[in-house]
A and B are shown apart, each in its own frame.
Chain A
């Protein structure tokens, strides 16, 4: 019996070469998303069995063209592939190449060969290559490179079994070395190799070229490398360009030998035709906005059904628990803290899943890079880049995955501005607040026969959020200084039918990220809020029952009504209520009273809590147990005017406040991680709070 063996395999290749399709093919659902130590880039790891005795741990790395990284995503790849002591250092590297564009896929391959990695080359998209009329001598390619070559079609799963078999056979690094240092560098490389005990010359060259991109080097190593560079008069840029040209020279000679028949020039006819329409100056935008509109409609219309079901499910669970568990603080914690907390996370899953389904489809089909292309100029005028469109769109579902999606933006300033303004996009957590307030203050009427006035108001809120995001970006553009250049050099992939299993796995991955990231914080906050809202000074809380009984002795209340009043009394005198009352002078100019103050306190960490808090507070005045929250809010009287509390002025002021205020602890936590410090999340919190307060103040003062 052979010993069980475990291989660590890294998948690399340029963007859109099909890495993720192959990864999904190999590992199926047997994958997990982790973090690389110290940084926040998602690490996709999966497992698969190669034969009876050998299993493989497969790491799917972000797309790169070469070992010289520019974006955060790319830096991870270089770190994994050069840090020999790192926990992710692979036993072998699989380079996935787009067979229709072999040339610039081989650049990375030759660099990996020179680093001494055992490599295997998988030629993907063989179907498209065949369609283009390309003829390749695969055997010759393998012998010229001294690297095993496998043909695959990752989308249809062809050749994947053969690929697995070949993985088992890869034993040694290619004997072919492409790197040839220029005579002036050799002495420096020898010195570095001896100093660090490096196996290959190219590794030493990497150390010399980009010590700052190799995070595993110690500060003294960097100092040493800089000293060597100065002593040997080494200029990184010059040698880097020369290296690339030299490598392409080698690649061209290999391709000349292995290409039997060249691809026809016109095989992309259909894709080019689609481009003429989709990037047209009129049709292009029209189609893009139609697509946006469709996504928007689906997110709200389709998600409503599962969301209602989830809402009912959790309400049922709460009732069920209240019958099963013995009364006491533990019961209360479950019934009013943990269960609604979990429910508050689960309820957003349908919207997030649907939105990411659309984004995955747009990305899979190749349309997303056209959106980047169409929007780049517009976005640049407000200090962002075409690549900011995807995060901003994702922000309509949830700012957490949206902010994580900014990692593909290579320029730090562009990325920072995008992170800063994304929370102003109206996320799905704002929707329940919007819905209830709009229903309360905007008449349920149709204009022009078709359009619902409430729908227009809701749409208007989204538009205002978006416009404010753009204005804030403009402001940031003027303030933040940066000399770093931003690029938009990117390949536009050929249009293809989306692969549905890839779409499904993306949905799964994004939803999981949201549940895990936001979930932890939301649950913790729900518990803290429950404590704040359920406990208060001891004597007051103990007397609550007595006091309410005294107040209501003439009213002849049912037991339920009485309990509701006790609950409301307790909330009023709890710590949360005390804070709400203390806040009243500050929020009075906005038209808010201490009850709304309590809701502001409880929704500080998660805005969606507003609705449930309001529900508890207004159980006070209700004599009808089945009254909806909306009815209770409508019946609420402002004691100063004698009229309703929720006048249009108060309603709009509250809407604007919720539109602009940060009120999301999870977003702050993600911004903290992505910007590596408290400076930006705190600035963001301060900015959005001031913006929300001022805007609500203006709205209330103008309208009242």
Chain B
């Protein structure tokens, strides 16, 4: 699990249905991703993906596998 400010590389997805939406947005395996910050109650979170800021719920973010 990543902490705010950390970066990692996407390796794959654990949820097929959701992965389609994530792929379309540009969450591609091999792309670096940075955890920017989370909302006040810890959910949702904001990540940076090749220059874009994208918000995700925690359970959505949890379906993205990463390589540290």
Chain A residues within 8 Å of B, Cβ to Cβ: 65-66, 68, 70, 100-101, 103-104, 107, 132, 237-238, 240-241, 244-245, 248, 263, 265, 268, 272, 275-276, 279-282, 284-285, 369, 372-374, 376-378, 386, 485, 487-492, 494
Count residues on chain B whose CB falls below 8 Å from chain A CBs: 30
Closest chain B residue to A107, Cβ basis: B24
Give residues 34-56 of B contacting A (CB, 8 Å).
Answer: 36-37, 39-44, 46, 50-56
Closest chain B residue to A236, Cβ basis: B20
Roughly how many angstroms separate A280 CA and B39 CA in the complex, as a whole number?
A: 7
Task: Answer whether residue B60 sits at the interface, using C-beta atoms and an 8 A cutoff.
Answer: yes
Task: Answer whether residue B23 sits at the interface, using C-beta atoms and an 8 A cutoff.
Answer: yes
Which A residues are CB-close (under 8 A) to B3? none
For B17, B19, B39, which residue has the most chain A Cβ atoms within 10 angstroms?
B39
A485 in contact with B17 (CB, 8 Å): yes
Roughly how many angstroms separate A279 CA and B22 CA in the complex, as a whole number?
A: 23
Which A residues are CB-close (under 8 A) to B20? 68, 237, 240-241, 244
A-B contact pairs, 18 of them (CB 8 A): A68-B24, A101-B52, A237-B20, A244-B20, A275-B36, A279-B39, A282-B40, A284-B40, A285-B40, A373-B39, A373-B55, A376-B44, A376-B57, A487-B18, A487-B60, A488-B57, A491-B54, A492-B53
For B17, B23, B46, which residue has the most chain A Cβ atoms within 10 angstroms?
B23
Roughly how many angstroms separate A244 CA and B16 CA in the complex, as a whole number?
A: 13
Roughly how many angstroms separate A369 CA and B54 CA in the complex, as a whole number?
A: 10
Which A residues are CB-close (under 8 A) to B26? 103-104, 248
A237 in contact with B16 (CB, 8 Å): yes
Which A residues are CB-close (under 8 A) to B40? 279-282, 284-285, 374, 377
Closest chain B residue to A284, Cβ basis: B40
Closest chain A residue to B46, Cβ basis: A492
Which B residues are CB-close (under 8 A) to A101? 50-52
- State whether A492 and B54 are in contact (beta carbons under 8 Å apart), knowing that A104-B26, A240-B20, A244-B20 are contacts in the complex: yes
A490 in contact with B23 (CB, 8 Å): no
- State whether A489 and B41 are in contact (beta carbons under 8 Å apart), knowing that A240-B20, A373-B46 are contacts in the complex: no
- Distance (Å) between the CB of A265 and the closest chain B CB? 8
Closest chain B residue to A366, Cβ basis: B53
Closest chain A residue to B58, Cβ basis: A377
Identify whether the interface residues of B are mostly helix, strand, loop, or mixed. Answer: mixed
Which B residues are CB-close (under 8 A) to A238? 16
Which A residues are CB-close (under 8 A) to B52? 101, 104, 491
Task: Answer whether residue B28 sits at the interface, using C-beta atoms and an 8 A cutoff.
Answer: yes
- Distance (Å) between the CB of A464 and the closest chain B CB? 25
Roughly how many angstroms separate A107 CA and B22 CA in the complex, as a whole number?
A: 13
B24 in contact with A377 (CB, 8 Å): no
- Which of these, A104, A284, A488, contacts B55 with CB under 8 Å? A488
Roughly how many angstroms separate A377 CA and B19 CA in the complex, as a whole number?
A: 22
Task: Answer whether residue B25 sits at the interface, using C-beta atoms and an 8 A cutoff.
Answer: yes
- Which of these, A107, A237, A275, A491, contacts B17 with CB under 8 Å? A237
Which A residues are CB-close (under 8 A) to B44? 373, 376-377, 386, 488
- Distance (Å) between the CB of A15 and the closest chain B CB? 11
Roughly how many angstroms separate A281 CA and B56 CA in the complex, as a whole number?
A: 17
Roughly how many angstroms separate A670 CA and B39 CA in the complex, as a whole number?
A: 34
Roughly how many angstroms separate A272 CA and B47 CA in the complex, as a whole number?
A: 12
Which B residues are CB-close (under 8 A) to A272? 36
Which B residues are CB-close (under 8 A) to A237? 16-17, 20
- Distance (Å) between the CB of B56 and the closest chain A CB? 6
B21 in contact with A491 (CB, 8 Å): no
- Distance (Å) between the CB of A81 and the closest chain B CB? 16
Which B residues are CB-close (under 8 A) to A376? 39, 43-44, 57
- Distance (Å) between the CB of B49 and the closest chain A CB? 9
Closest chain A residue to B26, Cβ basis: A104
B55 in contact with A369 (CB, 8 Å): yes
New contact pairs (17) apart from A487-B18, A490-B54, CB-CB < 8 Å: A68-B24, A100-B51, A104-B25, A237-B20, A275-B37, A275-B46, A279-B40, A285-B40, A373-B44, A376-B39, A376-B57, A377-B44, A386-B44, A488-B55, A489-B21, A489-B56, A491-B55
Roughly how many angstroms separate A66 CA and B26 CA in the complex, as a whole number?
A: 11
- State whether A488 and B56 are in contact (beta carbons under 8 Å apart), knowing that A101-B51, A245-B23, A279-B46 are contacts in the complex: yes
Closest chain B residue to A64, Cβ basis: B24
Roughly how many angstroms separate A263 CA and B48 CA in the complex, as a whole number?
A: 14
- Distance (Å) between the CB of A210 and the closest chain B CB? 12
B16 in contact with A241 (CB, 8 Å): yes
Which B residues are CB-close (under 8 A) to A68? 20, 24
Which A residues are CB-close (under 8 A) to B57? 376, 487-488
Roughly how many angstroms separate A488 CA and B22 CA in the complex, as a whole number?
A: 11
Roughly how many angstroms separate A377 CA and B60 CA in the complex, as a whole number?
A: 13
- Distance (Å) between the CB of B68 and the closest chain A CB? 20
Which B residues are CB-close (under 8 A) to A488? 44, 55-57, 60
Closest chain A residue to B41, Cβ basis: A377
Roughly how many angstroms separate A284 CA and B38 CA in the complex, as a whole number?
A: 12
Which A residues are CB-close (under 8 A) to B28? 245, 248
Closest chain B residue to A374, Cβ basis: B39
Roughly how many angstroms separate A237 CA and B19 CA in the complex, as a whole number?
A: 9
Closest chain A residue to B40, Cβ basis: A281
A70 in contact with B51 (CB, 8 Å): no
**A-B CB proximity, top 9 nearest:** A281-B40, A492-B53, A104-B26, A244-B23, A377-B41, A66-B24, A65-B24, A488-B57, A377-B43
